[in-house]
Structure 1
Amino acid sequence: MSTTEQPPATELDARYSSEGATARPWPETAAVLTDAPLYWLSTVHPDGRPHVTPLIGVWSQGALHFCTGPQERKARNLAANPEVVLTTGANTLDSGFDVVVEGRADRVTDHGRLTALAREWEAKYGADWHFDVEDGSFVQAEAGHAHVFAVHPRTAFGFGKGEPYSQTRYRFT
């Protein structure tokens, strides 16, 4: 979290938490978002049907960033409705910490910001994920152009699994 970001209001939902559980602090949740190798993106088709897909991404400057080709289903869905849910965590029942981020996917086109994000992508995922920046997009010779989106959380949830179970809500202003 950068020094200019305001920490979210954080509250434990006792209805879905073990007795004695405490709210998980936001920096712990942000670390899960930073370190996750894979995220699941939920968008909505123009006709209202849900669409879910796994993808890679980068948590940076208070937002979860992902990219997609302009003709891919998720890009077409976002053109009609930019509201999304991104999830990540451990696919286990009795251990781990899952995170759900709700927000709006806004396209990133600033050359300097995209260049910084391209460096972060490569640092996280390796040289196979090297991107150049051109015309407000990521570019790879083999794959072509990809639009980059930032999702600043409006609300996020953290689900602690195992003892204690916990559900923490984070509300952003």
Structure 2
Amino acid sequence: MTDSPARTGTLDARYSRPDARPSAWAEVHATLETAGTYWLSTVRRDGRPHVTPLIAVWDGASLYFSTGDREQKAHNLAANPNVVLTTGDSALQGGFDVVAEGAAVRISDPDRLASLAQAWVDKYGEVWRFEVRGGDFWHEGGGLAGVYEVAPARVFAFRKGDDRFAQTGWRLA
């Protein structure tokens, strides 16, 4: 994916070196597509935050993750669908981090779920092969899991390193 006028980010000079340039959307896309682990932030009913690592797939426009209905994140999403998904490199002196904000929407269309199940296998291997059952994913090791789509409304990229610090933001439709 290449940058287009709609995908041109805005550099935030407050958190960037004076000579920094905005990060390219193509780098954001590549990071979201290839990341192994993401961190999902949700909000509990009482307002306390909840953060958990998980795996996800990116299709170029949305991130997808799954969770069992009895897990804390599923309870949180039922009350408040607004989430933040982050991924990147934990090193301070280098790397590239991405933060995606949006609302998580549960997906139940069997054809879409079948396509996403294959995307999980393509990215993570056979150990993450899901069956589609009744509008959910099913896995022998974990039972049923709802699948959620997050089409980011805002994305931030953080480039790190002594001579590279830059924060770029995008507002997406």
Mapped to 2, the partners of 1:61 and 1:135 lie a distance apart of: 26
> How far did residue 7 of structure 1 move?
3.5
Q: Which residue is equivalent to 1:147? A: 146
Mapped to 2, the partners of 1:42 and 1:170 lie a distance apart of: 19
Q: Which residue is equivalent to 1:60? A: 59
Mapped to 1, the partners of 2:130 and 2:100 lie a distance apart of: 25
Mapped to 2, the partners of 1:61 and 1:100 lie a distance apart of: 15
Q: Which residue is equivalent to 1:101? A: 100
Normalised by the size of structure 1, how large is the TM-score?
0.94
> How far did residue 141 of structure 1 move?
2.1
Could you say what secondary structure the match of 1:76 adopts?
helix
Point out where structure 2 has 5 or more consecutive residues left out of the alignment: none
Mapped to 2, the partners of 1:61 and 1:6 lie a distance apart of: 16
Q: Deviations over 1:147-171 (max 9, x none)?
A: 0001111001000001211000011
Q: Which residue is equivalent to 1:42? A: 41
Q: Which residue is equivalent to 1:164? A: 164
Could you say what secondary structure the match of 1:40 adopts?
strand
The answer to whether the 8 Å contact 1:9/1:171 transfers is no
> How far did residue 60 of structure 1 move?
1.2
> How far did residue 142 of structure 1 move?
2.7
1:130-141 equivalent positions in 2, closer than 5 A? 130-141=129-140
Q: Do structure 1's residue 89 and structure 2's residue 107 form an aligned pair? A: no
Mapped to 2, the partners of 1:54 and 1:20 lie a distance apart of: 34
The answer to whether the 8 Å contact 2:8/2:25 transfers is no
Q: Percent identity?
A: 50
Q: Which amino acid aligns with 1:170?
A: W
> How far did residue 50 of structure 1 move?
0.5
CA change 1:58–1:89 in 2 (3 A) is: same
Aligned length: 171
> How far did residue 140 of structure 1 move?
1.1
Q: Which amino acid aligns with 1:30?
A: H
Q: Deviations over 1:117-150 (max 9, x none)?
A: 1001011111100001011101112311100001
Segment of structure 1 superposing worse, 93-102 or 7-16:
7-16
Higher strand fraction: Structure 1 or Structure 2?
Answer: 1
| C-alpha RMSD of matched pairs (Å) | 1.6
Mapped to 2, the partners of 1:99 and 1:89 lie a distance apart of: 6
Mapped to 1, the partners of 2:148 and 2:117 lie a distance apart of: 13
The list of structure 1 runs, each at least 4 consecutive aligned residues, that deviate by more than 4 angstroms after superposition, is: none
1:5-84 equivalent positions in 2, closer than 5 A? 7-84=6-83
